[in-house]
Structure 1
Amino acid sequence: MDGDSSSAGQRPTIAPATLVARPLALDTFRENVVLLARNNPVVRPERLAGVRKVEVVAGSLRLLAVPMICDDPSVVGPGEIGLPQPVFRRLGVTSGDAIHVAPARAPKTLDLVKAKIAGESLTDDDYRAITRDLAGHQWSDMEVAAFLVACAAFMTTEETLALTRAMIGAGARLDWGRPMVVDKHCIGGIPGNRTSLIVTPIVAAHGLTMPKTSSRAITSPAGTADTMEVFARVDLNEAEMRSVVEACGACVVWGGRVNLSPADDVLISVERPLSIDTPEQMVASILSKKTAAGSTHLILDVPVGPTAKVRDRRSALRLKKLFEYVADGIGLSLEVMITEAPEPIGRGVGPVLEARDVEAVLAGRADAPSDLKEKAVWLAGRVLEFDPALHGGAGERRARDLLESGAAMAKMEEICAAQGASPIARRTGALTHEVCAATDGHVASIDCLRIASVARLAGAPTDPGAGLELLRKMGEPVRAGEPVYRIHASEPADFGFAIEAAGEDSGVRISR
């Protein structure tokens, strides 16, 4: 027979060193995992003795993956390699493509992790190699965790700068073609502190460029991206982000989609479940993302309070100096604002509940939380002071005018329309429980960490409608049996966990 001798529908003959790709409807999150049949002809299980990973190559793309052995031929056959969705996407293959597979040696950069565990300082070249492997998904979560813990034990200021530079260089770097691109960021730790969603439209309404990129929540009940997603889509790619900024002067998007400091996204994915948030990693994460996003001028909010991330002014000043040292090293104009944070800001804790507070402030409603409004106006004023055309000291007044005139609300609506409709339902959890005061008196203190913990147990931010709403703030009177906050949840199990935690310790102290 002339031409191709293979019959229609047959897979092409695959060389002995390859298997054919079979996509699997499995999500292994960040981890690279592949499924191999026990009787596959390329990498038999006995060849994997002492080897934790296999090397998987498709064209010019190479990654390391953890192999799992499958005995069900209906899932993966002997000539196939099962690719869960993350690996399938990263390799960019189609079903039936040839995949080269072999036992893999451990990445050489893991020797640097061992050196870090031993207390050694690493060089600029070392951190460049580490971030390349992180961005290339060459490490397992266990190996990433070992690196994070080692850095938490000992890391110099020079290493923090080296890590920041390396993280910037490992991904895309946006250039907006403008001499000034501003941003505002908070280090987090204060429930309800959603000032960025008010600052951004104020600044854009003034005329400054502010491409705001944010991470998802790491250890809190909501991050800026989580709350913005209640209003609009946040998973924009670079082209979409540019289109929004060109049209509106600003955006509020999730930074993970635009490949900005991708090594940081890998670190964050492991930091989140371990609740690791060291000063050095925080500095490298924030400043690498801001620089990669093209920012030239940044206002940084460092809240200080008895239950905040930073507990006292001395620690805040040390952190301020570390931020300033690294910012100088990467050419970023930075102003660090140390702010008082004795309690949560606003009333809502959790994406939907926090979005409700933001909307109330932007709309100028009488019931808008005044603490959120005043802090946002003050921070927006500090950002506007970067504008050389604005008279010194006039920033806060200009910010207040833009908010109270409705210009900021109009700009927020414009940004949301440009980013696209929100993919999530804008409603609070239907399961509710009120946590009440045990005695008469005044609210003496509200523990930010405990409030955040109860909100997370209720399901926030994974469930956007979960969290809690504060019904009393510090200094306000309360009678025994009156509610101090209300828990919202959607899942009965989460609801039960949150109620149990609030019963053990509500986080609210009443003084007589």
Structure 2
Amino acid sequence: MRDFRLKHLPLDTMREHVIVIHERAVQNGNLGLHPLDRARVFGIDSQTGKQREITGVLNVCGDDLIEPDEIGLSEEAFRDLGLPHGAAVGASLAVAPASVDLVRSKLRGKRLRREDFDAILTDVAARRYSRVELSMFVLGCAFEKFDLSELTDFTSAMIATGEQLRFGSSIVADKHCIGGVPGNRTTMIVVPILAELGLKIPKTSSRAITSPAGTGDTMAVLADVALSAERLYRVVEEVGGCIAWGGALELAPADDILITVERPMEIDTEAQMVASILAKKKTAGATHVLIDIPVGSSAKVKTPEFAEHLSGLFMAVGERIGLRLEIATTRALGPVGYGIGPRLEALDVLSVLRREPGAPADLREKSLMLAGRLLEMTGVEPPSRGYEAARRTLDSGAALKRFDRIVDAQGRREMPPEAVWRRTLAAGQAGRIAQIDCWQISRVAKRAGAPSNASAGVKLYKNVGDSVTQGEPIFEIHAESDSQLQAALEYSNSVRRLVRYDEGP
């Protein structure tokens, strides 16, 4: 082993610590490790005189990215090591965290305790797990069901891995949809309505996990969402609410890291869903939370029976961790709104807030229903009066003005232009649209480039309940390149029953 010079590599590795050495350093015996070994990099902090170290996955390069006497660290690893570019560092083999054995035991069916989850999630949050080990844990959550006590322990351990926001208010409102329905950007309408009516609603949202856009992705089209805790407090104090990306706040950071493997695996397990949502609500300072569970054959929750089961889990765990919850079970026969993808969904939100002719009625009505439920739940309005109060706030233009204030407080951004590559697809038959497959239309939008390309996605010309004639335009694919457009077209043409019709005009 010998000293290396530290090099900062501008590589975004999705929160994984990646370490890069030159192949000649391996060939010359300077470092007796192999590609994909777990390595430890360490050095002395000249400011404190103390040793700092990180562990990560070793990668080997053969070009001029780095020199043989250098060791490169990805963005996340370099930041966490906290030593300057060019510092002298050493490297050695690192052993796997002991908590990985607990993950293996879960995969074999063992019940985990609170201290087990604490050990696992502490190591996850410290970036000591490789992608393979993170995947093992996610699969353990998927294949080995948690009982209520285990799920509560998992949620509590997730909360304990990060910071917690505190607003000094007896009522802090929040809402969350479990996902699975494209469009459905109700948060961006509910938040300004509630803030205008005096509720404090510091909404932290995720980016997409298995969808073409999360609320964080859509709001990022219009405003800065990567708020520090200090900025978030200032925004909420100024305008009563915010719509921020939770990943920038280190709230339940273990969950954000687990999401980086859930996304490519397209897995969102029952245990992970409940723990993730409730941990984020608790750490964001919420006291009263409304959870939307869409139910439909192509949604995440396919039957009323499973919705009832999931509602019971949310309510039971929420009570144990000190959250007041209500559940709204909604019907999902297709997307909500006309846009699927960050820019297109943002246009839907603005259309509803501006009360434009042709604004998506389903997005408007669902937003008003959810806002009304929260107004009643928090005692701002008496029973059966919440919807009307929300409607007045939207129709008067007050919600739009409050939304503009939130956008300005967070940092307004210019709307990206429409995607360059577009292709319209027509109805294959005449009839009334009975259902649009949420899962499949989402995958069309993802193949078109959403959410990475903000302007990519799918624009619906017709939605569930509309009547069409054969050959009439039904939706349009938006992409930033011809190759992505072709990928989306090929996928949409390969899917059977993407749109289901009732017979007749």
TM-score (norm 2): 0.94
After superposition, what is the alpha-carbon deviation per residue over 1:462-485, rounded to whole angstroms, capped at 9, x for unaligned? 111111111112232211111111
8 A Cα contact 1:454 1:498, kept in partner: yes
Q: Which residue type is aligned with residue 488 of structure 1?
A: H
Match of 1:183, SS state, is: strand
Measure, in 1, the Cα distance between the counterparts of 2:52 and 2:307: 44
Is 1:211 matched with 2:196? no
Measure, in 2, the Cα distance between the counterparts of 1:158 and 1:62: 35
Taking a change above 3 Å as real, the CA distance of residues 360 and 51 of structure 1, as seen in their structure-2 partners, is: closer
8 A Cα contact 2:192 2:399, kept in partner: yes
1:484 corresponds, among 436, 455, 474, to: 474
Measure, in 2, the Cα distance between the counterparts of 1:495 and 1:324: 43
8 A Cα contact 2:431 2:468, kept in partner: yes
Taking a change above 3 Å as real, the CA distance of residues 51 and 490 of structure 1, as seen in their structure-2 partners, is: closer
After superposition, what is the alpha-carbon deviation per residue over 1:196-217, rounded to whole angstroms, capped at 9, x for unaligned? 0000000000011000001100
Measure, in 1, the Cα distance between the counterparts of 2:478 and 2:62: 44
Name 1:343's counterpart in structure 2. Answer: 334
Q: Name the larger-Rg structure.
A: 1
Taking a change above 3 Å as real, the CA distance of residues 71 and 440 of structure 1, as seen in their structure-2 partners, is: closer
Describe how 1:225-236 pairs up with structure 2 within 5 A. 225-236=216-227
Measure, in 1, the Cα distance between the counterparts of 2:334 and 2:74: 44
Describe how 1:265-304 pairs up with structure 2 within 5 A. 265-304=256-295
1:282 deviates by 0.3
Is 1:445 matched with 2:435? yes
Q: Which residue type is aligned with residue 229 of structure 1?
A: A
1:314 deviates by 0.2
Match of 2:255, SS state, is: helix
Taking a change above 3 Å as real, the CA distance of residues 85 and 387 of structure 1, as seen in their structure-2 partners, is: closer
Match of 1:48, SS state, is: coil
Name 2:48's counterpart in structure 1. Answer: none
Measure, in 2, the Cα distance between the counterparts of 1:387 and 1:147: 37
Measure, in 2, the Cα distance between the counterparts of 1:236 and 1:330: 26
Is 1:25 matched with 2:25? no
1:224 deviates by 0.5
Q: Which residue type is aligned with residue 24 of structure 1?
A: L
Taking a change above 3 Å as real, the CA distance of residues 93 and 304 of structure 1, as seen in their structure-2 partners, is: same
After superposition, what is the alpha-carbon deviation per residue over 1:438-480, rounded to whole angstroms, capped at 9, x for unaligned? 2222223211111111111111111111111111122322111
Q: Which residue type is aligned with residue 265 of structure 1?
A: D
2:249 corresponds, among 258, 275, 287, to: 258
1:425 deviates by 4.4
8 A Cα contact 1:471 1:483, kept in partner: yes
1:504 deviates by 2.1
Match of 1:47, SS state, is: coil
Is 1:121 matched with 2:105? no
8 A Cα contact 2:5 2:89, kept in partner: yes
Is 1:138 matched with 2:151? no
Q: Mark the runs of 5 or more structure 1 residues left unpaired by the alignment.
A: 1-15
State the Cα RMSD in Å: 2.0
Measure, in 1, the Cα distance between the counterparts of 2:329 and 2:406: 29
8 A Cα contact 2:301 2:307, kept in partner: yes
Name 1:391's counterpart in structure 2. Answer: 382
8 A Cα contact 1:435 1:502, kept in partner: no
Name 1:196's counterpart in structure 2. Answer: 187
Measure, in 1, the Cα distance between the counterparts of 2:494 and 2:35: 47
Measure, in 2, the Cα distance between the counterparts of 1:363 and 1:163: 42
Measure, in 2, the Cα distance between the counterparts of 1:389 and 1:419: 26
Measure, in 1, the Cα distance between the counterparts of 2:213 and 2:286: 23
8 A Cα contact 2:247 2:253, kept in partner: yes
Taking a change above 3 Å as real, the CA distance of residues 49 and 27 of structure 1, as seen in their structure-2 partners, is: closer
TM-score (norm 1): 0.92
Is 1:311 matched with 2:302? yes
Measure, in 2, the Cα distance between the counterparts of 1:70 and 1:503: 40
Name 2:74's counterpart in structure 1. Answer: 84
Describe how 1:473-512 pairs up with structure 2 within 5 A. 473-505=463-495, 507-510=498-501, 511-512=503-504
Is 1:327 matched with 2:312? no
1:368 corresponds, among 359, 379, 388, to: 359
Measure, in 2, the Cα distance between the counterparts of 1:376 and 1:401: 13
Measure, in 1, the Cα distance between the counterparts of 2:233 and 2:397: 25
8 A Cα contact 2:224 2:410, kept in partner: yes
8 A Cα contact 2:17 2:76, kept in partner: yes
1:243 deviates by 1.0
Taking a change above 3 Å as real, the CA distance of residues 389 and 151 of structure 1, as seen in their structure-2 partners, is: closer
Name 1:97's counterpart in structure 2. Answer: 87
After superposition, what is the alpha-carbon deviation per residue over 1:38-84, rounded to whole angstroms, capped at 9, x for unaligned? 5659x946733699211223445432112234555x54445432223
2:38 corresponds, among 37, 53, 63, to: 53
Match of 1:208, SS state, is: coil
Number of residue pairs matched by the alignment: 495
Measure, in 2, the Cα distance between the counterparts of 1:50 and 1:190: 40
1:390 deviates by 2.9
Q: Which residue type is aligned with residue 387 of structure 1?
A: T
After superposition, what is the alpha-carbon deviation per residue over 1:325-361, rounded to whole angstroms, capped at 9, x for unaligned? 1111110111111111112111111111111111111
Name 1:8's counterpart in structure 2. Answer: none
Measure, in 1, the Cα distance between the counterparts of 2:309 and 2:134: 26
User: Runs (4+) of structure 1 moved beyond 6 Å?
Assistant: none
Measure, in 2, the Cα distance between the counterparts of 1:490 and 1:37: 35
| Overall identity of the aligned pairs, in % | 42
Name 2:144's counterpart in structure 1. Answer: 154
Measure, in 2, the Cα distance between the counterparts of 1:508 and 1:71: 49
Measure, in 2, the Cα distance between the counterparts of 1:141 and 1:214: 24
Match of 1:315, SS state, is: helix
Measure, in 1, the Cα distance between the counterparts of 2:329 and 2:408: 34
After superposition, what is the alpha-carbon deviation per residue over 1:223-244, rounded to whole angstroms, capped at 9, x for unaligned? 0011111111111111111111
8 A Cα contact 1:441 1:478, kept in partner: yes
Name 2:229's counterpart in structure 1. Answer: 238
Q: Which residue type is aligned with residue 244 of structure 1?
A: V
Taking a change above 3 Å as real, the CA distance of residues 479 and 215 of structure 1, as seen in their structure-2 partners, is: same
Is 1:464 matched with 2:454? yes
Q: Which residue type is aligned with residue 499 of structure 2?
A: V
Match of 2:334, SS state, is: coil
Q: Which residue type is aligned with residue 142 of structure 1?
A: V
Match of 1:359, SS state, is: helix
**Higher mean Cα deviation, 360-369 or 16-25?**
16-25
8 A Cα contact 1:302 1:339, kept in partner: yes
Measure, in 2, the Cα distance between the counterparts of 1:306 and 1:372: 20
1:507 deviates by 1.0
